[in-house]
Amino acid sequence: MKKRAWIVFFDESGVSLLPQVRRTCAPRGRTPALRHRLNWKRAGMAAALGYHAADLERGPRLCFHLKPGGYDTTSLIEVLEHVKTFCAGESVVLVWDGLSAR
């Protein structure tokens, strides 16, 4: 059976914009201090990568969304609504990991 649908891979992730703290060499008794001027502590990103199964000439489509903090169920549904506009009312097969959103 040949299906005329978009195959969309969707995932979200959280990132920290603060620098990573690592060990370093320093003279004994003088602990090195890492200073930064960032105040945005966490960001979330959700992305969808789509391919049309029957028409490869359309090419892949990438859609992503950034927001401060993390995602919950309501905000992920809003992102999926935006992804829906890229598929222009056509059928979609959504491949999503086992997210247990709050």
Judge if pTM exceeds 0.75. Answer: no
User: What pLDDT score does 36 carry?
Assistant: 67
Distance CA 12, CA 63 (A): 12
Beta bridge partners of 11: 47
pLDDT tens for each residue of the chain, 102 residues long: 467 888 899 998 888 766 666 667 778 888 777 776 766 678 889 999 998 877 878 888 888 898 888 888 889 889 988 888 877 778 888 898 876 665
DSSP H or E run through 85: helix 73-86
